[in-house]
Amino acid sequence: MGLRAGYHVYRTAQWKALRLEAKRRDDFKCTGCGARGRLEVHHKISVRQAPELSFDLGNVTCLCPTCHTKATNAERGIKPNPEREAWDQLLKGNNIARFY
């Protein structure tokens, strides 16, 4: 076994090129909430589930770190916590550093 499937995908020049292409296509905005700034390119169908779609532009989408975490949690079957999210939004809005 050794390396998990997909591990090396993120280290290829092809992935770097695809990431840039995806950001351009999505206008350098998060497709979840429209935020600009730091973006992560997310596989809609995970590399593990569909290695053949690893470099498919149709299978990737740009997400901000917040939306990316949500998407990843959803994949893992972790349900969103509305109270926690409301709290996060409040902290963000007030520019208060996270203290937990």
The residues of the shown chain that bind Zn ion, judged by CB under 5 A, are 30, 32-33, 35, 64, 67
Q: What is the closest distance, in whole angstroms, from the C-beta atom of residue 38 to Zn ion in the complex? A: 10
Q: What is the closest distance, in whole angstroms, from the C-beta atom of residue 5 to Zn ion in the complex? A: 27
Nearer to Zn ion, 50 or 71 (CB): 71
Nearer to Zn ion, 35 or 53 (CB): 35
As a three-state string, the secondary structure of the chain is: CCCCCCHHHHHCHHHHHHHHHHHHHCCCCCCCCCCCCCCEEEECCCCCCCHHHCCCHHHEEEECHHHHHHHHHHHCCCCCCHHHHHHHHHHHHCCCCCCC
Q: What is the closest distance, in whole angstroms, from the C-beta atom of residue 26 to Zn ion in the complex? A: 11
